[in-house]
Amino acid sequence: MRVAFSASVALGLSLILTGISGEALSAQSLEADPVKLRRQVLEKFEAKDYEWLESSAEALQAGPFDPLETFPRLEHFYSAFTENLNDDAACLRRLSQLQDWQRAKPESVAPRTALGKFYTHYAWEARGSGWASTVTEEGWRLFRERIALAKDALYGKEDPARIMRRSEPVKDPANYAARIVVAMAESDDEAMSAAFREGATLYPAYYPIYERVQRCLLPRWGGKPGQGARFAAESADKLGGPNADAFYALQAEDVLKAEEEDFFEQSGFDLDRMLRGYDQLAAPGANRAGYYAHRAAFVAAASGKMDETRRRLLAAGPAIYSSAWLNPANLQKAQRESGALGEFQKLAEMEARGQLPEAQAGWLALTPGRTENAWLKSFAKRNGLAELYAAFPGATNPAKPVAECSPDQLYELTEYHFAAGNLAQFREYAEAFDRQRPWNLTGKGLLYWAAVIKGDAAEKERARQAIAKFETKRKNYQIAVDYLNGKTPWKEGIAAMKEDGYRVQAILAMAAHALAQEKLEESRQILEAVNRRSLFSDLSAMSDSLQFGALYRGFNPLALPAK
């Protein structure tokens, strides 16, 4: 069945990717941030402000659309209507509200698309996400019933007087993308082909339409090996232009996420073209550039190109995106076999010994182009080298007012001022970070360090209490809390920690506490234990280890014995 669908899709490609219909309307009143946009939509929906919903939907439906935007704002608009549905009562309430909107605006496509997507979500809730063999008879009954209702809503079929028909164009690209999912659920190849051809003809740059087709062509839905790759190549070639390879890589990415390790054995995607596409997606300043840089390194490693893998790991910079590698073992293997790990270890040890000029030259040599070298920027930040740090595009001004900083900028400047020895600024930015992220141990740990360095007994006790009374469900956080409360020895605690991003925050708090108790050697050993664990086993914690090197050198103002 999917073979016929793929062929008809290919025929449809000759008609699409030629332009975008519709006049763009203003969407300036809409929140730019996706989370805030969904919240805004729900607030207007709850208030039954249908005029606002209609005008906002029309503005978003009109585009323009970027073919490399995998989840456009229009999709965020509609996804708001399937949020906060924690039980069946909430679903029934939302259904009633959507039906009210539909009755208030019977000629509009927006409430029908929203209702269709809601019914699809509701259907999958009944079915579950497992294999077909795990679905109960009642689950199948509800799934089919709700999918049929989704189709009726999307096509406007329940009222014969409706102006929308399967054969009439709909001014909403999200409606076509939703039709493809419904057709997939009903194994209706003809409907899938029709929805794709019409949707892509009207909205050739609306990426979700292509993503839904790739989902249909997965083997788990009856597709054959290589169909998705052929569809991606045909659509990317038709798109043409400088983004064609990136468009191809995005579709490969969707299949890779679904098939994981099986992708390289049977998907049929051109790995070289994927790498070219990932290079476009990882351009400086691009959204998720770091993730795509690591994904490219993963693809290079999976294809056995170790020199290419090493080059890409070096160019990717100090930030690690473990999700790009499917699992940490793939990353660690690539680091070792490509030789990248050895290079990083050599420079990290050099920096930890205080050989900063030599380390700086080494980090600079990792990737060409001083202003694009993320390793060197990180080196400058953690060592408080103001002039070098300020030379990088996008570096946060160390004097930027607290009120104007994002949480990431606050943390960045906290690190910077610690390394530079600016205790007052270090404390100011740490306090602001903790106010914005009270559920996070980072700010509390940094404030403990500030109190220890200042030497104020009352301030140290307040900082200790903030951590000792911290309530958390995160294992690594709890280990730090238990250590501060005298319940867990430090060696036992470190040995029991999970390898995740919260480990570093917990260790930071533990080391500050040991220093506050004047257990100088214990504090040193806590940091050194993390250094050994990070440096010689897993590159994913390399930047953390180097940050601890800066902390270690920061002991000197406390007149602790030099190593």
The residue among 191, 224, 257 that closes a domain is: 224
Task: Please state, in angstroms and rounded to a whole number, the distance separating the CA atoms of residues 76 and 27.
Answer: 14
Task: Please state, in angstroms and rounded to a whole number, the distance separating the CA atoms of residues 238 and 469.
Answer: 60
491/23: higher pLDDT = 491
Q: Does 323 map to a domain? A: no
Predicted confidence at residue 238, as pLDDT, reads 93
Q: Mean pLDDT highest for which of 118-132, 371-385, 478-492?
A: 478-492
Q: How confident is the model at residue 161 (pLDDT cuts 50, 70, 90)?
A: very low
Q: How confident is the model at residue 372 (pLDDT cuts 50, 70, 90)?
A: low
Predicted confidence at residue 19, as pLDDT, reads 32
Residues 384 and 465 grouped into a single domain? no
Residues 28 and 143 grouped into a single domain? yes
Task: Please state, in angstroms and rounded to a whole number, the distance separating the CA atoms of residues 367 and 377.
Answer: 12
- Name the burial class of residue 522, with classes exposed (0-12), middle (13-18) and buried (19+) by CB atoms within 10 angstroms of its CB: middle
Picking from 347, 352, 381, 386, the residue whose alpha carbon sits closest to that of residue 367 is 347
Residues of the chain with pLDDT > 90, as a percent, come to 47
Q: Does 525 map to a domain? A: yes
Q: Does 85 map to a domain? A: yes
The residue among 181, 209, 224 that closes a domain is: 224
Predicted confidence at residue 537, as pLDDT, reads 37
Kindly report the pTM of this predicted structure. Answer: 0.73
Mean predicted confidence (pLDDT) in 122-132:
83
pLDDT digits (tens, 9 = 90+) for 513-536: 998 998 888 887 887 666 544 433
Residues 93 and 197 grouped into a single domain? yes
Contact between residue 139 and residue 126 where contact means Cβ atoms under 8 Å apart? yes
The residue among 208, 224, 240 that closes a domain is: 224
On the question of pLDDT at 9 being above 60, the answer is: no
Contact between residue 237 and residue 12 where contact means Cβ atoms under 8 Å apart? no
Mean predicted confidence (pLDDT) in 183-190:
91
Q: Does 233 map to a domain? A: no
Q: Mean pLDDT highest for which of 24-38, 119-133, 421-435?
A: 421-435
pLDDT digits (tens, 9 = 90+) for 391-447: 777 778 888 999 999 888 888 888 788 777 788 898 999 999 999 999 889 899 989
Residues of the chain with pLDDT > 70, as a percent, come to 85
Q: Does 236 map to a domain? A: no
Rg, Å, the chain Cα set: 27
Mean predicted confidence (pLDDT) in 249-276:
90
Contacts of 256 (CB under 8 A, 6+ apart): 263, 267
Residues 89 and 208 grouped into a single domain? yes
Q: Which two tokens stand for residue 202?
A: 């009207």
Domain that holds residue 372: 341-390
Task: Please state, in angstroms and rounded to a whole number, the distance separating the CA atoms of residues 162 and 154.
Answer: 12
Residues 34 and 144 grouped into a single domain? yes
Residues 509 and 363 grouped into a single domain? no
Residues 456 and 527 grouped into a single domain? yes
Residues 7 and 86 grouped into a single domain? yes
